[in-house]
Chain A
Amino acid sequence: MGKYIIKRLLIAAVTFLGITVLVYILASLAPGSPVEMILAGTSNLTQEDVARMEAQMGLDQPVYVQYIIWLKNVLHGNLGVSYRTMRPVTEMLGERIGPTLMLTVTALILAILIAVPLGIVAAYRPYSPWDYASSVFSFIGAAMPNFFAAMILVYLFSIKLGILPASGMYDTGTGESFSMLLKHMILPVITLMLQYVGIYTRHMRSSMLEVLGDDFVRTARAKGLRERAVVFIHAFRNALIPLVTQVGLSLSALIGGAIITEQVFSWPGMGTLMVQSINYRDYPTIMGITVLIASFVLIGNIVIDLLYGVLDPRVSRK
């Protein structure tokens, strides 16, 4: 197991380097210069002014030189200073990661808690009214675009019923409290959750349906085990593997994927920061976000792989 983890970490390190090289090159190839954004509004700005400023900021160096300098700083724990805000990137990421994880992790956990029972019930009684109801719900959830779901929820709960806030993390200018935060989380979490629930329910249903027809389930029933034990202990554990894979695929979305939901609900997370940074050509922040997402996804995938072993010991033995 130890060897396996070390091997996976080494592969992850190489993948991480590959990702950063690729993003750095792509970002630097984008038209427009951060200097132009910094000096926007300056009268009589000339190409020479921009070139001079780029030289001051080291942006006139070849891309590989800029990348090596950046990587060296990253290895020393320094992600640089944002061109847009003139603040350390680590500080900015620190402020934004919390709100994003608060939304996405809550949505993910709730989605799993809803999708798993829904999928099991649908698979256990296929083509029953329960199954049809869960299918309709999950198709709607998976197919409805986030912004559309958000608009409907805002219209219903904020405008028509007036019971939930339409945007932000806290009420206006009234301090910050946990209950207020929870209240503001409800609509964005439901928006995000709907899609996860739809996808996970479908996976859970098909996987459970397959497992319930397997020989070992028949054997368990033949041994005279109670139906509940057959479903929830024997079948359930085996049916979880595809769901774990699906959750693994959602990991990148945990940090960067809530862009639309964050925008619509003015949620001050990583998604909005990413959009602002890209528009501003704020390379240090773009790279900082890349480092964070890449690390999270790579480590998350290692954890998911280890989870396979826990769920199915045959995977560990292999």
Chain B
Amino acid sequence: MKYKKGLALVTAAILGLTLCACGGSAQDSPAADSQPQGGSTNEQVSNDSGDTETADSKESTEEKIVTIAYDQTWNSLNPYSSTGVMGDTVCNQIYDNLIAQGMSGSVYPRLAEKWEVSDDNLSITFHLNGNAKWHDGEPVTADDVVFTCKLITKGDIVTSRRQLMQNVAGTDDSGVELSTDSVEVEKIDDLTVKMNMKKPMSGSMFLKQASFFFVLPEHLLKDVTPAEFMESDFWNNPVGNGPFKYESTVPGERVVYTVNKDYYMGEIGFDKLVIRSIASANLLSSLMSGEVDLIPGSRVSFPITDVPMAEAQDNLVVESLQSPGHVWLIVDNEKFDVKTRQAFDMAINREEMVKELVGGKGTVREGMYASNNLYYDPAISQVSFSNKYDPENAKKILEENNFDFSQELLIVTVAGDSLREQTATLFQRDMANIGVTVNVQSADLSTMMQMMRDKQADFGIMKTSSDGANPLENQDFFTIGGMYNLSHVTDPTGQDLFSKIMTALTDEEIKEYASQLQLWHAEAECYYFLYSPDITVIYNNRLSNMKTEDMSMSVFDYWNWKVD
């Protein structure tokens, strides 16, 4: 009897819960409601019965919500400790940079509405937008910029976001202040700030670093010591100056923002923004069901095999854009001499990689810069070994070079990254065609890089989301003794040319050195730049008027968007 009663109670409870859940879903399923409208709109909750939701529903009947998805997660709402693409994007909604940089290299005003470089190229003056306000209503001023510069150059703060400060006078090579108040950033007036550079450099090179400089509120952070900065409670509920105000997070899954109605760049036509982290295998289903509105491009690993199905959906728009990013190979320069490296390169069938791995949606790489990169030099076509696919000749060169065909080489790739894994397999096949045995091993990214540093592997596969407009993007891979010199490059030519680019005073000079760099590398073959998979931006058709090409740079022109 006792068992019967117990069983009946448990069964009733389970049934009750299940019915409650199913009852809700029949009325308010996001798929059923939002698919026709194509997104996350208020109707989803208008029929919910929960107390919280009843209140929410009334409010949300007029709300327009846009959901963006990434297949990664973020680590912090502090822009100076955030890492990765989603970290950038999550922080970019709350904080604006001084300027924003588009994929083509265009520089857009943000907190700085204009700027000028001094005649001697030793200082740059930023004029702040007078309408910019913090989310608590306080104006954004030059004091905030000076405060941020001085704060983030403190040695107690561990951050990788000091790129801008590395070029400012009064800091060391890593952007840390040389002494108290040594950093040469000066307030001219409430809306004007001047930064002195360590040495003359072109304004465009300086500005490229300014797109990673997030201005912080002095009035809210002035009492936080540098030692407390990273772990401050401020980051649990940050106050910024960007297009959206922080509302809430579901840890590791989503960040919810409400629109900043006073945004100085213009009025935004929707009420909430949600940035979600969704497994790449589930991105298509989330788009199709209307749970997600936008997959913003190259920094999201949207499975290439899912693209045709996305294209077939009535509610989705798929845009393929040529990407300056690339899949490339690390190759041990100390183990293989230039001749051997050139032979290996001639054996790689890049056309086949583009065809097989990205369904033809990509371009073969001739060298360090993609053909749509601002600094690409067409002359490279004549000299690049990437264009000379010739396995027979490659084998012949190896034989002439007394290559030991009995040895087994190792390529290490990143586990779980199907594109890299498949690239490794095709590379293995290409090498087998010339009689070279290559084994494939998978590891996580850290392990892969460490294996390359420790010379435990001969090749490694990298994938980079380039911004297309930065001639210094590969600099660290050529720095002798640097952490990212994964190919063990010993020839200082590359490092020297990058230094020249860094200190060039005009765009013409930069282009000239960038050209020399490409031509040198085409012969030196320190790394193999294989192919650029196209950027795929997919969005619900209720969104329009968006500048999709800059989304891969985490640059969103929300004030121009039309949201149905």
Contacts and interface: CB of A to CB of B under 8 A. Distances in A.
Interface string A274-291: 001011110000000000
B53 A174 contact: yes
Contacts of A37: 83, 446
Interface string A22-44: 00000000111100111111111
A32 B447 contact: yes
A175 B83 contact: no
A36 B486 CA distance: 13
10 contacts: A42-B163, A113-B14, A162-B32, A174-B56, A178-B50, A179-B53, A180-B50, A182-B21, A186-B22, A268-B250
Contacts of A183: 21, 24-25, 28-29
Nearest to B40: A172
A267 B250 CA distance: 10
B26 to A, nearest CB: 7
Taking residues whose C-beta sits less than 8 angstroms from the other chain, chain A's interface range is 35 or more
Contacts of A154: 282, 285
Contact of B281 (A162, A168, A172, A264): A264
B222 to A, nearest CB: 20
A52 to B, nearest CB: 10
Nearest to B57: A174
Given A86-B231, A177-B53, 19 more contacts: A31-B446, A32-B450, A45-B484, A96-B251, A159-B31, A159-B285, A167-B278, A168-B276, A173-B40, A174-B56, A175-B52, A177-B50, A179-B48, A179-B49, A183-B29, A186-B25, A268-B251, A268-B253, A279-B444
A246 interface: no
Interface in A123-177: 147, 151, 154-155, 158-159, 161-177
A180 B445 CA distance: 37
Nearest to B158: A38
B363 interface: no
A252 interface: no
A234 interface: no
Given A30-B447, A174-B56, A281-B446, A44 B482 contact: yes
Nearest to B289: A158
B481 to A, nearest CB: 6
Contacts of A121: none
Contacts of A173: 40, 63, 65, 67, 256, 272, 274
Interface in B1-44: 3, 10-11, 14, 17, 20-26, 28-32, 35, 40, 42, 44
B45 A263 contact: no
A174 B230 CA distance: 30
Given A44-B174, A87-B231, A266-B282, A162 B29 contact: yes
A265 B484 CA distance: 35
B73 A276 contact: yes
A87 B75 CA distance: 10
Given A30-B447, A96-B251, A174 B17 contact: no
Contacts of A171: 28, 30, 40, 44-45, 291
B512 interface: no
Contact of A165 (B26, B29, B76, B475): B29
Given A159-B289, A179-B48, A92 B251 contact: yes
B465 interface: no
Interface string B438-473: 000001111101110010000000000000000010
A219 interface: no
Contact of B231 (A31, A81, A172, A174): A81
A104 interface: no
The 7 closest A-B pairs by CB, nearest first: A32-B446, A177-B50, A162-B31, A31-B450, A182-B21, A172-B40, A175-B56
Given A159-B289, A176-B52, A179-B50, A168 B250 contact: yes
A272 B251 CA distance: 10
B168 to A, nearest CB: 14
A84 interface: yes
A41 B175 CA distance: 13
B450 A38 contact: no
B476 interface: yes
A231 to B, nearest CB: 11
Given A162-B31, A179-B50, A169 B291 contact: no
Interface in B37-81: 40, 42, 44-45, 48-53, 55-57, 60, 63, 65, 67, 73, 75-76, 78, 81
Contacts of B443: 31
Nearest to B64: A173
Given A41-B160, A45-B482, A154-B285, A174 B44 contact: yes
A36 B446 contact: yes
A15 interface: no
Nearest to B166: A43
Nearest to A165: B30
Contacts of A49: 174, 483
Contacts of A33: 446
A204 interface: no
B14 A180 contact: no
Nearest to A174: B45
Given A40-B160, A81-B231, A45 B483 contact: yes
A268 B248 CA distance: 14
B277 interface: yes
Given A173-B274, A177-B53, A276 B479 contact: no
Contacts of A21: none
Contact of A163 (B31, B55, B277, B445): B31
B80 to A, nearest CB: 10
B360 interface: no
Interface in B55-112: 55-57, 60, 63, 65, 67, 73, 75-76, 78, 81, 83-84
B190 interface: no
A316 interface: no
A2 B543 CA distance: 67
